[in-house]
Amino acid sequence: MAERESVTLVVFSGELDKALAAFNIAIGAASMGMEVSMFFTFWGLNIIKRNEGSIRSKGVMRRMLNFINRGGSKRLHLSKFHMLGMGTWMMKRLMKDVNFPQLEELMAMAKEMGVKFIACTTSMGIMGISKEAFIPEVDSFAGVATYLAEAREGRVNLFI
């Protein structure tokens, strides 16, 4: 292959099932020799928040938001049938049952294959989330121009 083809994924949603789909595609694309960038924005930021500690932010409203919307890969809900956690727990069990990796394993795999994680600074600013809230695997913090500059070169563009 001449130049590497590229894939850009906008991960807007912060639900477990959608995150699984996003990482599934990212790993598939990386396996096919493509360069993959994942842009996490809005609720999607929850996927790349670290699971430990609390999220610090300024102001009552932002503190409240980050308390309710804590995020972290282990806290994500299914977009359907969460059922106070029972449905999500069951889905994780079903995945384990057929040896399908959990989200954290897929994320590690994607990273190992060179998939880039980019966090949207606008969403971070609005919601009052600092860089420290994210896992160290995040490669950069950027905006829409970074996404578009990569997307216009890419063959595959998805909004999840």
Using the contact rule CB under 8 A, the part of the chain among 8-16, 47-55, 99-107, 130-138 near other proteins is 99-107
Q: Which of 42, 82, 108, 109 binds other proteins (CB under 8 A)?
A: 109
Stretch that binds other proteins, among 32-40, 80-88, 117-125, 130-138 (CB under 8 A): 32-40
Count of positions on this chain that bind other proteins (CB under 8 A): 16
Cα distances from 8 to residues 22, 34, 35, 91, 101, in angstroms, run 10, 10, 8, 27, 22
Written as one letter, the residue type at 28 is: G
Contact letters for other proteins, residues 1-30 (x by CB under 8 A): x----------------------xx-xx-x
Q: CB-wise, 90 or 113, nearer to other proteins?
A: 113
Q: Which is nearer to other proteins, 108 or 142 (CB)?
A: 108
State the Cα–Cα distance between residues 12 and 42, nearest whole angstrom: 6
103 near other proteins, rule: CB under 8 A: no
- Burial (CB < 10 A; 0-12, 13-18, 19+), residue 55, is buried
Burial 15-46 (b: 16+ CB within 10 A, else e): bbbbbbbbbebbbebbeeebbbbbbbbbbbbb
Q: Pick the stretch among 78-86, 92-100, 118-126, 138-146 that binds other proteins (CB under 8 A).
A: 92-100
CB 8 within 8 A of CB 147: yes
CB of 110 to other proteins, least distance (A): 9
- Using CB under 8 A as the criterion, which residues of the chain lie in contact with other proteins when the complex forms? 1, 24-25, 27-28, 30-34, 98-101, 109, 113
